[in-house]
Amino acid sequence: METDDILRRHGEAIELFGDRVHAVGDDQWDAATPCTNWTVRDLVNHLTAEQLWVPRLVRDGATIEEVGEEFDGDVLGEDPVATWDRAAVAAVAAFTEPGALDRRVHLSYGLTGAAAYCSQMTMDAVVHAWDLSRAVGASEELPGELVTTALREVEPYAKDLKETGLFAPAIEPPPGADDQTRLLCLLGRRP
């Protein structure tokens, strides 16, 4: 994808997840999600922490070791929605700085292009938007172009994700499944 497309899709995915965060009711933060052993708060905390990493890695060029435990544990504090909003704005700003996607970033598996990192973050936000939707009773239908972008991103390495322990094993989608069903099944979700 072209740089503008990568940034547009990332912004759309962050907005989608943010819409779901804003839909969480006060009594839903402890609700279960499709992510094993994660509550709604755990899921939002995970995505918020991921956004907090972006400026440090993309803008500052920090290594994993330099960031250390800065974003471990509960990063949401007393106002999870506002914390998400601030982290999301900072992540989008870091990726959209001139030349940001041309940089290389230090990730847990090594040095990689910031454009690839942005695409991975897009996919993660799209899939977790579905998880959060299911958990809080919001619409589970995801925007088609975002789903297709996420599916194209993850297909080449999906078989390796199970070995990370972060994803459930893939599920065989039904014949003729649409892209959203294929994406969710590929990542161990039961649509």
Give one DSSP letter per residue of 124-151, joined into a string. HHHHHHHHHHHHHT---PPPHHHHHHHH
Is pLDDT of 165 > 70? Answer: no
In this predicted structure, what is the pLDDT of residue 185?
Answer: 94
Higher-confidence residue of 169 and 44: namely 44
Question: DSSP for 47-109?
Answer: HHHHHHHHIIIIIS---HHHHTTTT-S---TT-HHHHHHHHHHHHHHHHHSTTGGGSEEEETT
pLDDT-based confidence at residue 159 (cuts at 50, 70, 90):
confident
Q: Which residue has the tokens 């500052």?
A: 60
User: Where residue 160 falls among pLDDT bands split at 50, 70, 90?
Assistant: confident
Provide the whole-model pTM: 0.94
